[in-house]
Every structure is written in C-alpha cells, then in structure tokens.
C-alpha cells in the first residue's frame, strides 16, 4: 500500500501525528508519504517510518500534480481544512479525516459549556485510520533527534522552553526569571529567535542560567531536551517534543486548557513524574483555542496568578527524585 498523511502545521500538531505514522507503517507495511509545510519538514526528515516528505509551498496546484503521480491507496487527513480537502479531492483516492471538535471548542471558549470530547487528540487521530484496521500500539509519540545535533557535553538539569506562538500562552518575563531564580540547578533556556532577548537578559542576571534561545535549531533544542532531568514548558510544540522524548514535564497553561485534548501524551503505562500548572476557576478561561497577542480582558490572570515558587519547588522535587 502507498499512503499519504496530511498535516500542514505546526510543530506540536505534527509531533502528535507520529503514532499514526508509526502504526500505519508497522501494521500495514505501507509506503508512507507525508505532506506538510516547508518550515516543518525537518520534524519528519529523520523519522524512519516516513518514506517521503512533501513540502507545501505557495502553489497547491504544483504539489498536487506531484502527488498525483503516486496513485495513493489511501489519504489520511489529519489537518482537515479547505486545502487538505482540496488535496483529497484532487487525488481521488479513498480518504478519511478526524473529528476536530470545532463546535465543542467554540462552545467552551464562548459559553464555557463543556462538550469537549474526553479523548486526547492522538486518540481522535486514530479514528481516521479505523477503516484500515490500524490501532494505537501504546508506544507514545516519536521525535528522532538527528545524529549530528549538537549535544551538550554536560547535560543540563533543567531545560526551560520559554517560547509560545501567542503571548497569552507565555509567562511574563519577570515570572520566568523568578522561576529560574528559585531553582537550585543549572538551567538551559531554549526557544526561537523571538525569545532570544528575554533569554539573554535572564542569562546576564542569573549565573546558573545559559541562554540558547535563538541560537539553536529545533533539532539542537530537542537534543538538550533529551538530556534534561526535567523540562519546563508552556503549551507549545516543545512540550510535545519533550513528551516524545519521555522527559518529565512541568507544563504551564495560560489561555488554553488541557481539556482541548493536547496535553503531554506519554506511552501507555509509563510512570513519568510530571505536573500541570494552571489557574483554575477563571470565568474568562479558556479565551481562545489558540491564543492572542494580548489578554482580551487586560488582567492576564491566567498567567499572572501562577505560583512561580510552586513551579520551582516542583522542579526541584523532580530533580531530587531523579538522583535517588
């Protein structure tokens, strides 16, 4: 069989599709192709369960012409938007998508009526391959760090992924600094170029902090995560990479909620010491299924009311337990 899997973006969403990729490959023995946006293809380049990665550029027509040469037996649509449906229609192959639960998310955001499916999104992704008789194998997510990624010679005790696509998913800079100041262990900050200024400022003020935000590729950041005793992260792609690498995670939630079904997903039965921090009982939360550049209410209580000392204390508990 030859199967195409579609997920255009973004980092975390693509990592969350990897159990489907693995199980399709291993259970069907299929040739697996993957269609994504060009900036995200590196996430899949080292995945041994993917035979070919196609990058979506500006022209959907051009990539569709290339895909039509393959005569796919089945198309698995794990993005399910207008463009992915156009690909499915253009390939004229049997296909299936997954339940995005958009109405339930809208109700939760706008009315706080909780009709959200009580299933992780990975489980919902597998609904798209039910007709192929592919089932989840319990092995969690995959992320394959390139062998030439720059590993540190001395593994850091803590990696702090300070980024996030939207400001309302990120702690304010002073709170990130407070958490770091209360952790008695070496800390490596990772993130994108947009996080480099914040990381550099904290690096200058705290001797046990090393900033690598903006200077490492995604794969190099993942290499640091792989070596970490514990990872602190917002609701971002790095959270899912840390789960794929089976690291203990302190996840910090702002305007989004774990109930959307995208919390850390570990292998079945694995006891990995982790924790979620979120401010409960806020009437305005969740205010979006994605995020905003600024708090719509102006108070940003979902992050400003987080306990920096509590987060730091939990980090130290995990580090202490890892040394036993």
In this structure, of 79-83, 119-123, 143-147, 260-264, the range with the lowest mean pLDDT score is 143-147
Residue 146 lies in a domain: no
Please indicate, yes or no, whether residues 294 and 169 belong to a single structural domain of this protein: yes
Residue 215 lies in a domain: yes
Question: Of the residues 116, 132, 148, which one is the last residue of a structural domain?
Answer: 132
Mean pLDDT, residues 105-123 taken together: 97
Residue 138 lies in a domain: no
What's the pLDDT score for residue 252? 98
How far is residue 253's CA from residue 260's CA, in Å, rounded to a whole number? 12
Residue 178 lies in a domain: yes
Mean pLDDT, residues 202-220 taken together: 95
Outline where the chain has alpha helix (H): 11-16, 18-28, 42-45, 60-67, 82-91, 102-111, 121-127, 173-181, 196-205, 218-226, 237-244, 301-304, 308-322
Domain with 245, as residue range(s), is 158-322
Q: pLDDT tens-digit profile of 230-279? A: 999 999 999 999 999 999 999 999 999 999 999 999 999 988 999 999 99
Please indicate, yes or no, whether residues 94 and 224 belong to a single structural domain of this protein: no
How far is residue 191's CA from residue 317's CA, in Å, rounded to a whole number? 24
How far is residue 138's CA from residue 141's CA, in Å, rounded to a whole number? 9
Please indicate, yes or no, whether residues 201 and 106 belong to a single structural domain of this protein: no
What's the pLDDT score for residue 151? 61
What's the pLDDT score for residue 152? 59
Residue 288 lies in a domain: yes
Please indicate, yes or no, whether residues 166 and 83 belong to a single structural domain of this protein: no
pTM > 0.85: yes or no: yes
Distances (CA, A) of 233 to 38, 82, 133, 158, 190: 25, 31, 35, 11, 10
Whose tokens are 């993942």? That residue is: 222
Please indicate, yes or no, whether residues 99 and 164 belong to a single structural domain of this protein: no
Residue 249 lies in a domain: yes
CATH of the domain at 199: 3.40.50.2000
Please indicate, yes or no, whether residues 60 and 174 belong to a single structural domain of this protein: no
What's the pLDDT score for residue 59? 81
Task: Say whether pLDDT at 84 is over 70.
Answer: yes
Task: Say whether pLDDT at 50 is over 70.
Answer: yes
Residue 169 lies in a domain: yes
- When divided into structural domains, the chain yields a total of 2
Mean pLDDT, residues 293-314 taken together: 97
What's the pLDDT score for residue 150? 59
Please indicate, yes or no, whether residues 172 and 225 belong to a single structural domain of this protein: yes
Mean pLDDT, residues 114-143 taken together: 97
In this structure, of 57-66, 195-204, 221-230, 272-281, the range with the lowest mean pLDDT score is 57-66
Is-contact 202 211, C-beta < 8 A?
yes
Question: Of the residues 98, 132, 166, which one is the last residue of a structural domain?
Answer: 132
Please indicate, yes or no, whether residues 181 and 86 belong to a single structural domain of this protein: no
Task: Say whether pLDDT at 12 is over 70.
Answer: yes
Task: Say whether pLDDT at 149 is over 90.
Answer: no
Average per-residue pLDDT for the chain: 94
What's the pLDDT score for residue 200? 97
Please indicate, yes or no, whether residues 315 and 169 belong to a single structural domain of this protein: yes
Question: Of the residues 132, 147, 170, which one is the last residue of a structural domain?
Answer: 132
Higher pLDDT, 125 or 322: 125
Is-contact 8 53, C-beta < 8 A?
no
Please indicate, yes or no, whether residues 109 and 171 belong to a single structural domain of this protein: no
Please indicate, yes or no, whether residues 90 and 173 belong to a single structural domain of this protein: no
Task: Say whether pLDDT at 28 is over 80.
Answer: yes
Label residue 90 by pLDDT band (50, 70, 90): very high
Please indicate, yes or no, whether residues 89 and 180 belong to a single structural domain of this protein: no
What's the pLDDT score for residue 321? 86
Q: pLDDT tens-digit profile of 265-287? A: 999 998 899 999 999 999 999 99
Residue 142 lies in a domain: no
What's the pLDDT score for residue 147? 77
């Amino acid at each position: 069989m030859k199967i195409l899997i579609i997920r255009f973006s973004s980092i975390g969403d693509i990592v969350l599709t990897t159990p489907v990729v693995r199980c399709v490959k291993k259970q069907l023995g299929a040739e697996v192709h993957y269609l994504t946006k060009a900036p995200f293809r590196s996430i899949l380049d080292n995945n041994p369960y993917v035979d070919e990665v196609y990058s979506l550029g500006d022209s959907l027509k051009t990539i569709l012409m290339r895909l039509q040469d393959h005569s796919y037996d089945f198309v698995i649509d794990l993005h399910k938007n207008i463009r992915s449906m156009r690909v499915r229609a253009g390939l004229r192959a049997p296909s299936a998508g997954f339940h995005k639960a958009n109405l339930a998310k809208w109700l939760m955001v706008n009315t706080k009526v909780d009709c959200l499916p009580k299933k992780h999104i990975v489980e919902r992704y597998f609904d798209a391959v039910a007709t192929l008789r592919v089932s989840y194998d319990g092995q969690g997510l995959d992320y394959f760090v390139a062998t030439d990624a720059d590993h540190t010679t001395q593994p850091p005790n803590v990696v702090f992924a300070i980024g996030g696509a939207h400001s309302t998913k990120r702690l304010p800079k002073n709170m990130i600094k407070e958490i770091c100041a209360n952790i008695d262990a070496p800390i490596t900050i990772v993130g994108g170029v947009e996080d480099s200024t914040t990381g550099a400022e904290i690096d200058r003020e705290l001797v046990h902090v090393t900033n690598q935000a903006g200077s490492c590729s995604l794969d190099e950041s993942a290499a640091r995560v792989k070596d970490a005793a514990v990872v602190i992260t917002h609701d971002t792609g790095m959270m899912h990479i840390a789960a794929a690498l089976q690291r203990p995670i302190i996840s910090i939630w702002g305007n989004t909620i774990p109930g959307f079904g995208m919390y850390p997903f570990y292998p079945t039965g694995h006891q990995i010491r982790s924790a979620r921090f979120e401010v409960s009982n806020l009437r305005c939360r969740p205010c979006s299924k994605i995020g905003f550049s600024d708090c719509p209410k102006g108070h940003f209580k979902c992050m400003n009311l987080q306990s920096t000392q509590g987060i730091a204390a939990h980090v130290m508990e995990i580090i202490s337990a890892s040394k036993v």
